[in-house]
Chains A and B, each alone.
Chain A
Amino acid sequence: MKEEKKYWNPAMETLPRERLVEIELRRFREHLRWSQENSPFYKKKFRGIEPEDIRTLEDLAKVPLTEKDELREAQVGKEPYLYGDLLAVPPERLSVYHQTSGTTGKPVYVPDTYESWQWTVEVWCYILYAAGFRPTDRVFLPFVYNVYIAFWQGHYAAEKLGCEIVPGGGLETKARIQKMMEVKATGLMNTPTYGLHMLEVAKEMGIDPKRDLTIKRMICAGEPMPEPTRLRLEEGWGADVFDHLGGTEPGGWAGMCSQKKGMHVIEPHFLLEMIDLETMSKPISPGVKGVAVITSFCRRPIPLIRFNLKDIMMVRDDPCACGRTSIRVDQVGGRVDDLRKIRGVFFSPSVVEEVIRGKFPQVVEFETILTQEGIMPVLTLRVEMEPSLAESQQKERCKVIREQLKIRTNLTFEIESVKPGGLPRYTLKSARFKDATKK
């Protein structure tokens, strides 16, 4: 019997670290030069920086970080229309359009050439293969045909890998569940929120995904997935659930292997740096929380060099039992944009999800709202519990939730119980934190 292959690219994924770094630095120099020569934005931004001066990881600090706001500004009101000064290829070479969701402002428009698009698909192949997707899988994709990048690359990568794709975008949730059951789908790609939502809907339909469906593996995208949420999905679906890291601008850049301990950066297609949260410049060591900065080497139409992802992460330094030599990261603290200093304490909304998903399976949905009473900020957690729970049990749960949140965050929450169906459900990115203090 033929031995099961573990790697998409056995040579690259097991290269010694020093070789990976060597290739990344070489690619960094090439990409920097390309960007300076072809993108008016980078020509101006990186004026005076000599690519040949970047010889070590420490030298990377000679190149300033790229911020999302700069990408937006470089596109607004400039020719060629949509892409402005960022564009580094002739417009006639473009073949694919996507955009960011614009949740933190105006969207960034991200085009691809056929070549760069195929490269983003290729790196997703690394992600899917590490998660165990194989040609024998029938993969159900419940995502809608639209301008956002989530799952497009997953779709094409699964196809390239040899899986059979079942496009379930045009169906509503109940029909999707029926279709997965009918075709005996073995793989699934969705946001963690939608994975949980489908569990809820399946329950209403009298379907137990663990018993009645055949999903063996699920890959999640689109939003951070704290470990308790991943475990809840695994339990509900009876499947292996894998996370990945990616975004519209860089593409998918890290994925979880069978060990499910952090996510492997797809090196040397990407170079990840971790910088200090306070100074936003000093490199930090493994095991310390920091901000992730990414350079993606092959997306030439809109190059991305030292892009500040604003995601709080931590690099692991223990070797992975899967044999991959790339560095692994954990997403540990949400996004820098969501961090708030409340009564002198740093608060990240992702902690609420960790507590709720990890300790309170009776909570079906929740949202955190930050308001202000006079000069005092107030955090309110609205929770929707299983309808089967009696009012007294709900009150008791609310009390325990409040205590647990106090322990984890050192902040006091107002807890409000909401009637069944009273909180919004999300099919793509969730918005469970609302800052009502912002005008």
Chain B
Amino acid sequence: MGQGREGMEYDLKAMDLEIKAIEERTKKLRELGNGFVAVERNADSILTFVYLLKRNISDLIE
């Protein structure tokens, strides 16, 4: 668990698991939409924000 100074507890590990699950499912979606540009590009956008979540959250886990 991580704790912010605002007194709230954050379950970073649980968040990390969800982030990884979104990543996996988005990659799967991208594969399913191979050649379907609207799917590929939007899946790439989702993966960009997954990358930011990993930098913001997953990287903090020891």
Contacts and interface: CB of A to CB of B under 8 A. Distances in A.
Q: Do A and B interact? A: yes
A119 B52 contact: yes
Contacts of A3: 6
A10 B56 contact: no
A115 B12 CA distance: 23
Q: How extensive is the interface on chain B, given as a class? A: 20 to 34
Interface stretch (B17-25, B28-36, B41-49): B41-49
Contacts of A14: 3-5
A126 to B, nearest CB: 10
A80 to B, nearest CB: 21
Contact of B60 (A5, A23, A118): A23
B8 A115 contact: no
Contacts of A249: none
Contacts of A5: 6
B56 A12 contact: yes
A249 to B, nearest CB: 19
B38 interface: no
Interface in B47-62: 48-49, 51-52, 55-57, 59-60, 62
28 contacts: A6-B5, A6-B6, A7-B4, A7-B5, A7-B6, A10-B6, A10-B8, A10-B10, A11-B4, A11-B10, A11-B12, A13-B4, A14-B4, A19-B60, A23-B59, A23-B60, A27-B59, A114-B44, A114-B45, A114-B48, A115-B48, A118-B48, A118-B49, A118-B52, A119-B55, A122-B52, A122-B55, A298-B55
Given A10-B6, A23-B59, 9 more contacts: A10-B4, A10-B5, A11-B57, A14-B3, A19-B62, A27-B59, A114-B45, A118-B52, A122-B52
A323 B57 CA distance: 19
Contacts of B10: 10-11
A299 B6 CA distance: 30
A7 B6 CA distance: 9
A259 interface: no
B5 A323 contact: yes
Interface of B: 2-6, 8, 10, 12, 44-45, 48-49, 51-52, 55-57, 59-60, 62
Given A118-B48, A269-B55, A15 B60 contact: yes
Nearest to A6: B6
Output the residue of A15, A122, A268 with the most chain B CB within 10 A: A122
A9 interface: yes
A12 B52 contact: no
A11 B59 contact: no
A122 B57 CA distance: 13
Interface of A: 3, 5-7, 9-15, 19, 23, 27, 114-115, 118-119, 122, 268-269, 298, 323
Contacts of B6: 3, 5-7, 10
Contacts of B62: 19
A296 to B, nearest CB: 12
User: What 3 pairs across the A-B complex have the smallest Cβ distances?
Assistant: A10-B4, A323-B5, A11-B2
A119 B50 CA distance: 11
A9 B56 contact: yes
A122 to B, nearest CB: 5
Contacts of B8: 10
Nearest to B8: A10
A96 to B, nearest CB: 13
Contacts of B45: 114
Nearest to A323: B5
B22 to A, nearest CB: 16
A15 B57 CA distance: 12
A408 B55 CA distance: 45
